[in-house]
Every structure is written in structure tokens, then in C-alpha cells.
Amino acid sequence: MYLSTQQSRRLADLCAVMASDVTKAQLLQSLAQPLAQFMQADHLVSRQWDAGKKQYAICASYNVKPSRIRAYEEHFQFCDPITPRLRQLRQPSRVSDVCSVQELEQSEFYNDHLRQDGIHWGVNVYAYQGDACLGDLVIYRARGREDFSRQDMACLNIIAPVFSAALTRLEGVSAAKTGWMGYNETELTRLLTGRCQLSPRETDVVMHCLHGRSDKEIARLLQIGFTTVRYHLGHAFEKLGVQGRTKLAHQIGQLLSQA
């Protein structure tokens, strides 16, 4: 494998991002754009697998419309013929390695979802800790471009173990952190994603709210749009049965005391 000086520098920068002292959500969003650009990709999403609900939530993205994220989370992940095959491989793999173009183009997932944004080629990278999937990276190129090459895959095979190590490290850091009102982050996350049925992104937003951060601050920290923060917060309020921030802390405090 040959990398130019510029490519080597970008690869080193990506590794530095994955070694940075940030939260998991911040890492995934900080990684999205530079990794997509390094891979000469048009779109990228990172997903979190919820083993209890057996479904994905999109945690970070690059050049993907919020409406497309909602459509995936609410419907298209359940008719996705590609991810189950790629996930079994547990290593960077192309869509074209597990699914023919003909089969893909005949699927609802392609015609009503991917094709709406001109997406045609894809590659998945997974982070595992034992048998637990900690997160993934789904990298896309548009129709009319070339599929990911052997050199592209060689680069991802360098990135994958660093990505897995970073998410493993941050899982441990998150579990050890003191959270809110004497409850650690693991307890809060378990309540919000389990009993309250919040998505990982809704949980991130609520956690920042509990620490008194404004919507603008949350948008900056998570590197998402202000309206996206409001969207996730609105859904969280609805699931928690509250009508605003003033009732949020009281409701979560009550739920924790009953746990």
C-alpha cells in the first residue's frame, strides 16, 4: 500500500482524533467529516446498536439530511438487507462484497432510501468489545463514482482497530465518570435508554440538559444543528412525559429514586 505524504498526514490526524480526550458522542461527530474526506466519500453515518431494542440509532453523520436519519431510524433499518451480512464479518467490508448490484437495486432499502440521496457504494467499519458492538461507521459514495478500492480497504483495516480501541476506552471512561446528583453516567444511561426508551442521541441531549447546558451549547458540543437538538429534545420530553426543561430534572430524579 502506498500513501502520499498528504494521505499519511491525514491518516495520522484521524488517529489523533480517536486518541483525544472527549466523550464518545463528540469523538464520533468529530471523526465523521475528516474520515469521509480521507475516504473521498460523499456521506457518512455512525450508528449505536441497542441490544435490548434490537435496533440502531444514528449518533453522528456527515452530509446526511436529518429527514433521512429519521427515516432510517423509524423504518428503513428494519428492511436493510445489507447490515446483517456485513456485521457478521466484524471487519471493514464493502456492500458489494456481500450483495450484488442487482439484488441491491431490487430492494426497498435502496429504491426508497439510499437512491433518494444518490447513494450507491458503501463500506462498513465496526467496533467490537468481545461480542458487544460498540458502534460503527457507514461510509457511502454516490452513483457514478467507483466502488471502494483495495487501497481504501487497506486504509480502513488500519483505522478499524484504532476505532475499536477508542470506543472501548471511552466506554470505560463513561462508566467511571460521576454523573448527575450522585448518579453515575451508566445509571443515567441505563434508565434513559431502557425504561424511558430514549434513543442514544436523545439520551446525549438530555444528559447535557441535566448539566444546565443551553440548546446552542449542546449543538456545539455534539456538533449537530440547533434544530436537530430541538428535535431530539422534543421527542425526549414526550417520552418522559414532561413539557419542558424545568420539569425534566424532577421527573428523572423521581424515576431514579424508584429504580
Give residue limits of the domains in the chain: 5-175, 178-258
Query: Which backbone phi and psi does 56 adopt, to 5 degrees?
Result: -100, 150
Check: CB of residue 19 under 8 Å from CB of residue 168. no
Task: Kindly state the cell numbers that stand for 209.
Answer: 440538559
Check: CB of residue 121 under 8 Å from CB of residue 140. yes
Domains 5-175 and 178-258 share a fold: no
User: What's this model's pTM, rounded to 2 decimal places?
Assistant: 0.69
pLDDT tens digits, the chain, 259 residues: what are they?
788 899 999 999 999 999 987 778 778 888 999 999 999 999 999 998 887 788 898 888 999 988 898 899 999 999 999 999 999 999 999 999 999 999 999 999 999 999 999 999 999 999 988 888 889 999 999 999 999 999 999 999 999 999 999 999 887 655 444 456 666 677 788 889 888 999 989 998 998 888 888 898 888 888 788 899 999 999 999 999 998 887 888 888 888 877 6
Neighbours of 134 (CB within 10 A): 19
Fold of 5-175: Beta-Lactamase (3.30.450)
| CB-neighbour burial class of residue 183 (10 A; exposed 0-12, middle 13-18, buried 19+) | middle
* Three-state DSSP state, 175: helix
Check: CB of residue 104 under 8 Å from CB of residue 88. no
Q: What does CATH list as the number for 178-258? A: 1.10.10.10
CA distance 66 to 231: 10
Check: CB of residue 184 under 8 Å from CB of residue 175. yes
Which of 90, 84, 93, 95 lies closest to 164 in space, CA to CA? 90
